[in-house]
Amino acid sequence: MMKPDQVVKALGALAQPTRLAIFRLLVEAGQEGMAAGQIAEKLSISPASLSFHFNTMNHAELIERRQEGRFILYSANFKVMNGIVDYLTENCCGGNIEACKTPRR
């Protein structure tokens, strides 16, 4: 289970429109991730700005990076993402998780 300060740090990092867009894009990309250039192109972000946002997200442990050849690929840290959701829903509906489920749109 994540500690409250970890959750606050992660949510604080996502409380900015560009970082939220980056994170959502990485979630869509899955474990494969994306190269920084692809992310910058898809979201029309300058490389310098992207680097700043990556640093903030990395500090909050929201992203992971790995080297593949000459590229650095970034992906969402799904363990942390799921930890945040678990933390936020831990006591949902008095512990009755079935009562908390809502239909997807």
Which helix (H) or strand (E) segment holds residue 87: the answer is helix 78-89
* 28 is a domain residue: yes
Which helix (H) or strand (E) segment holds residue 48: the answer is helix 47-59
Report the pLDDT averaged over residues 21-43. Answer: 97
pLDDT of residue 105: 64
What are residue 5's phi and psi, to 5 degrees? -65, -30
The domain tally of the chain equals: 1
| Domain extent at residue 40 | 4-100
pLDDT higher than 90, residue 41: yes
For residues 79 and 59, give the distance between their C-alpha atoms in angstroms, rounded to a whole number.
15
Per-residue pLDDT tens digits for 53-91: 999 999 999 999 999 999 999 999 999 999 999 998 887
Report the pLDDT averaged over residues 9-31. Answer: 98
pLDDT higher than 80, residue 3: yes
* 26 is a domain residue: yes
Query: Chain-wide mean pLDDT for the chain?
Result: 92
For residues 34 and 30, give the distance between their C-alpha atoms in angstroms, rounded to a whole number.
9
Q: What is the CATH number of the domain that holds 16?
A: 1.10.10.10
pLDDT class of 104 with cuts at 50, 70, 90: low
* 73 is a domain residue: yes
* 105 is a domain residue: no
* 13 is a domain residue: yes
